[in-house]
Amino acid sequence: MNYQWDRDRDTICAVSTPAGTGGVSIIRVSGPQAIVLTKKIAPFLPDKTESHRIYFGSLISLANLPIDEVLVSIFHQGKSFTGEETTEISCHGSPSICEWILQELISCGCRTADRGEFSFRSFMNGRLDLIQAEGVLQLVQSQSRQAAKQGLRQLKGELSKVISKIESDLIYVMANIEAAIDFSTENLEVINRKEMISKLEDINHRIQNLLQTYQQGRWMVEGLRVVFSGAPNVGKSSFFNLLLQEERAIVTSVPGTTRDVVDSTLILDGVRVLLSDTAGIRESNQQELDLAEKIGITRSLESQKDADINLYLFDASSGLSDDDFNNLFKIDQSGLFLLGNKLDKSSLSTLQLKEKVSLQLAQRKFFKNEQELADFIDHRVLFTSTLEHKYRDQVFTLLKEFLKSSQLEDITVISQARHFDNLNRAGVHVEQARLAFEQQAENEFIALDLKASLIAVQEILGKRFDDQVMDQVFRQFCIGK
């Protein structure tokens, strides 16, 4: 779909509520003729309507047949979501009634809306910037409380304000550079280079702070990806079932029972958590494995790389094996937790087991220093048994503390790859401009980097865009929004 201004002169209509049978459905009409065309099937509307008023009456088809008793909400130009003249028809939630009303509106002169076209018009009419439009999409698609809260914050313009301040400061620096270029022929120094360097350092600091929130923002929108991994027969599937409180994964005493990744979801402190049970990983005796198990191991390793949190299980009664360490060195330590399972089969106390694991990790030089090892043992190692329900709560506590440490509640974050890519590009050019200032480079070269960073920031806000960007953003919307 290509968004073009010649189509924006049309009056469009669509069902804005989800498909299917319900108590009420809403049909939205927007465009220069929205009220006039709605009146053709809603004769009860007065000649002079009031904005933000609801009118009750019966819809009558062009063939003079009664359709339904409805409520019609009126929004005058400049006072609606799209910025255009808009009507919203609240009818009974029958798909056949909705289809009939749409057909009548089309016969009157409306056009069926494209995906996201109402939001696109709101953007083009200056009611929303592109970040806010993406906030609408995030709010509609949110599958957890945190995702909804972040979508609403973005819709309200919190991220837009932060990005706009970066844009404003870049323009200030560029204005100084342009002035310096203009006066260069008169051998006048009109720019305070120390001030400009300080300004660019501050701009880049704010950009880097935003970039560092991308992981948290992605958790809010997509969910926190938690993977159960480890050697065969250490209780991954049993623990997976315990957390879900259902027999989701097959459990047997035969090593290699799990051959593929098994996924499920739950909500934890308002965050969507994606749980994945994976095939047991063993690198020794590879010749004994059949093709299916080898494929399962490959997929397990891929899941480990993509995970935000790796819950790595091992047999508490025997400790970490060589295969365990071969695998652990492939996992990002920032999201690693060790679960020593089958505690019920061990003769050692939890304290003794922790000391044993600590010694093994130290001998393998798994951490750079003793402090990192001690912190890991204190906060990332848990001994469990799937025979006792209390360990379910303990694992959830670990995950909650991880989320809490990420400060998801009170920070402005970026969650779209488009934002991350453009901010990253802007940061690179800002840093290059700063270095050029320090090296006393020609102002013309500094201006090129500043211009490139400004373009990247303005693309985030939607002040610079092309059809490809618009398609990428708005084609994700549903029809009617």
Beta bridge partners of 336: 310
Task: Please answer whether residues 108 and 40 qualify as being in contact, where contact means their C-beta atoms are separated by less than 8 angstroms.
Answer: yes
> Span 212-241, mean pLDDT?
83
Q: Using CA atoms, how far apart are residues 135 and 137, in angstroms rounded to an integer? A: 5
Q: Within a 10 A sphere around the Cβ of 215, how many other Cβ atoms?
A: 17
Residue-level pLDDT at 347: 83
Q: How confident is the model over 138-181, as pLDDT tens digits?
A: 888 777 777 788 888 888 889 999 999 999 999 999 888 888 77
Contacts of 221 (CB under 8 A, 6+ apart): 138, 142, 147, 150, 415
Lowest average pLDDT, out of 318-322, 324-328, 471-475, goes to 471-475
Mean pLDDT estimate for the chain: 84
Q: Is 196 exposed, middle or buried (0-12, 13-18, 19+ CB in 10 A)?
A: buried
Q: CA–CA distance from 50 to each of 43, 53, 88, 254 (Å)?
A: 15, 6, 14, 73
Q: Using CA atoms, how far apart are residues 322 and 304, in angstroms rounded to an integer? A: 18
The SS3 of residue 259 is coil
Q: Which domains does the chain have, with CATH numbers?
A: 5-129 (3.30.1360.120), 138-213+414-462 (1.20.120.430), 218-405 (3.40.50.300)
Greatest alpha-carbon span in the chain: 87
Beta bridge partners of 338: 312, 381
In the predicted structure, residue 242 carries a pLDDT above the cut 60: yes
> Span 293-314, mean pLDDT?
71
Q: Which helix (H) or strand (E) holds 398?
A: helix 390-405
Binned at pLDDT 50, 70 and 90, residue 76 comes out as very high
Q: How confident is the model over 366-424, as pLDDT tens digits?
A: 888 989 999 999 989 989 887 788 888 888 888 888 877 766 556 788 888 899 999 99
Residue-level pLDDT at 186: 59
Residue-level pLDDT at 252: 44
In the predicted structure, residue 288 carries a pLDDT above the cut 60: no
Q: Which residue has the higher pLDDT, 53 or 226?
A: 53
Q: How confident is the model over 322-370, as pLDDT tens digits?
A: 888 888 888 888 888 998 888 888 888 888 889 998 999 999 998 889 8
Q: Within a 10 A sphere around the Cβ of 253, how many other Cβ atoms?
A: 6
**Backbone phi, psi, residue 98, to 5°:** -60, -45
In the predicted structure, residue 46 carries a pLDDT above the cut 80: yes
Location of structure tokens 């998801």: 408
Lowest average pLDDT, out of 53-62, 195-204, 329-338, goes to 329-338
